[in-house]
Amino acid sequence: MVPPTPSAADRQEVIAIIGVGLIGGSIGAAVKRRHLARTVIGIGRNEARLQGAREAGLIDVASTLLDGIRDADLVIVCTPVDRIAADVLAAAAHLRPGSVITDAGSVKAAICRDIESARLPEGVRFVGSHPLAGSEKAGWEYADADVFQGRVCVVTPEPASENCERVLQFWESLGMQTVVMSPDAHDRAVAITSHLPHVVAAGLASMLLEELIPLAATGFRDTTRIAAGDADLWTSILISNAGPVKDGLSRLMQRLGQIHDALAADDAEAIRRFLASAKANRDVLEGVAKE
Amino acid sequence: MVPPTPSAADRQEVIAIIGVGLIGGSIGAAVKRRHLARTVIGIGRNEARLQGAREAGLIDVASTLLDGIRDADLVIVCTPVDRIAADVLAAAAHLRPGSVITDAGSVKAAICRDIESARLPEGVRFVGSHPLAGSEKAGWEYADADVFQGRVCVVTPEPASENCERVLQFWESLGMQTVVMSPDAHDRAVAITSHLPHVVAAGLASMLLEELIPLAATGFRDTTRIAAGDADLWTSILISNAGPVKDGLSRLMQRLGQIHDALAADDAEAIRRFLASAKANRDVLEGVAKE
């Protein structure tokens, strides 16, 4: 008997998820909800938690051994950023030629560099990804099949000319819009849009003395929400993207210093210009036309 | 005929709102929804907009002349912070002995100082207030009768021993929790919980180059939401509270500088400690127990 050709279209693919936490679990839930795979294999280190994810319907098969992925056509590595490169290389050794590996890490340059320099087995390919979805929560208990719908996924093939059609197709099948960028350009961009806001939110949250809590209204809550993110995960992210985050911090501190000096000089016009320009930028995000 | 004694309890009070924008309009809506006054008088400078607020049911009577408040028992001044003191003094000249004026300004020390030094007519009292409610929107079109429910209102009597029962009772009748503080303590607190987040949100928003927009996900959006606030209103607020905001900015820049240096030194442990401490603070806000 000839087995049917694996393809997402006829739902015959085997997809493996390494690291079944918030993002890995959400991917499993979305793939299963949309019937995008014949089987979803979940790989993790904690047997009990992995069985829980299986019982919750996020994966079909649970395994603590990488050997469990040998039939996978597509592998998505969803471990913390400081473990992704090693997990990709370990997974690759178990895969058949023709299979593809991607990841869901928030930082791309260091990961792609480490994987490229180590070389993958013949016929096994890696294309980096960063789905911009998730929350400050951790653990598959917060998995959400809808979290990818309408969101952006950055895909970072290296070299840029590499065919990444299969990976683009996968994220698009979850309802995401895909953007192709180089790993370095990705890291410089998210330093500003994601990592810098995290540092700033944490900085503000760290100034919340107990007696100030009654006065912390929605503005403070919104501005600091992401500071509730997992400290270990975010330490890895910031360290992995240290250069661009440092640059962003320097630029932000310079701006805050200008505002400090404008307040000291009672220069209302400088403050008004700064706030009006920032508001124009923020309004664009909400789809309000820029003046 | 002897007129009935005015009191909130039997709904016989006349309440005047000076400045019928987002907050003034919301107060009118809440007072009318809860039947807390016999009449709600709205005072504003723009006749057409004021008539619109009356037709929308936020006020009963519209007037562009301060003389319209002569029957008011309680006046709430909801104009921008740089106009509140002058508007309180102008209003006071039209009021009967026994009437009370409060405001809804986000800054208290400068306003209370200006009013105290100018002296009010015999029998007319001012007690400062800051209801912590509202949004980045402007205009009575966004008025919301429910916006005060469960929120905190700071009341700043000066001297601290002054009887502010009537003003506390008013905000509590809108469903608010009241906190009594000195004007200076209030200003130092909101510099950290409100004004500093605004400056930081604007600083982040100002770094959003057009090509970064696709990568601005929920973290960036939440952290910068308040930067959409009105630039003129916020300029007045920051200038009126320049000292405490400058102090807060200095402390925040020092913290960000430490993170910058920890990244430069690849000091993951320092970053982890910073993020874990910030997360613990933020978790308290959500009612999660501190470890």
DSSP reduced 3-state for A173? helix
**Torsion angles phi and psi, residue B5, rounded to 5:** -65, 125
- Rounded to a whole number, what is the distance in Å from the CA of A237 to chain B's nearest CA? 10
- Tell which of B221, B281, B284 to mutate to test the A interface (max A CBs under 10 Å): B281
Cis peptide before B214 (omega within 30 of 0): no
* Beta carbons of B90 and B31 less than 8 angstroms apart: no
Q: In this predicted structure, what is the pLDDT of residue A265? A: 98
**Mean of pLDDT values over B246-272:** 97
Q: pLDDT of A215-239, one tens digit each?
A: 998 899 999 999 999 999 999 999 9
- Rounded to a whole number, what is the distance in Å from the CA of B203 to chain A's nearest CA? 6
Best CA proximity match to B107, nearest among B22, B24, B20, B181: B181
- CA–CA gap between residue B147 and residue A149 (Å, rounded): 31
* Beta carbons of B168 and B8 less than 8 angstroms apart: no
Contacts of B215 in chain A (CB under 8 A): 132, 152, 154, 179, 189-190, 193-194
- Using 50, 70 and 90 to split pLDDT, how confident is the model at A136? low
Looking at the predicted structure, is the pLDDT value of residue A9 above 90? no
Q: In this predicted structure, what is the pLDDT of residue B3? A: 43
Residue for token pair 């997402």: A8
Q: In this predicted structure, what is the pLDDT of residue A289? A: 46
Q: pLDDT of B173-188, one tens digit each?
A: 999 999 999 999 999 9
CA distances from B40 to B20, B92, B127, B153 (A): 11, 17, 20, 21
Measured from the Cβ of residue B184, the count of other Cβ atoms closer than 10 Å reads 16
Q: Which of A202, A255, A277 sits opposite B274 (nearest CB)?
A: A202
Task: List A34's β-bridge partners, or say none.
Answer: none
- Rounded to a whole number, what is the distance in Å from the CA of B263 to chain A's nearest CA? 6
Q: In this predicted structure, what is the pLDDT of residue B277? A: 96
Looking at the predicted structure, is the pLDDT value of residue A6 above 70? no
State the average pLDDT for chain A: 92
Looking at the predicted structure, is the pLDDT value of residue A203 above 60? yes
A58 CB-side CA count, 13 A: 31
- The answer to whether A30 faces chain B, any CB pair under 8 Å, is no
Q: In this predicted structure, what is the pLDDT of residue A217? A: 87
Residues in CB range of B183: below 8 A, 6 or more apart: B108, B109, B111, B112, B113, B128, B156, B158
Looking at the predicted structure, is the pLDDT value of residue A156 above 60? yes
**Torsion angles phi and psi, residue A192, rounded to 5:** -85, -40
Looking at the predicted structure, is the pLDDT value of residue A286 above 90? no
- CA–CA gap between residue B62 and residue B43 (Å, rounded): 6
Q: Tokens representing B142?
A: 């966004």
Helix extents (H) in B206-267:
218-224, 231-240, 242-264
- The answer to whether A220 faces chain B, any CB pair under 8 Å, is yes
Closest residue in A to B288 (Cα) is: A228
**Torsion angles phi and psi, residue B36, rounded to 5:** -90, -5
Q: What is the DSSP letter of A21?
A: S
Q: Tokens representing A28?
A: 């499993």
Q: pLDDT of A24-43, one tens digit each?
A: 999 999 999 999 999 999 99
ipTM, two decimals, is: 0.85
Q: What angle do CA B36, B39, B41 make, to 5 degrees?
A: 115
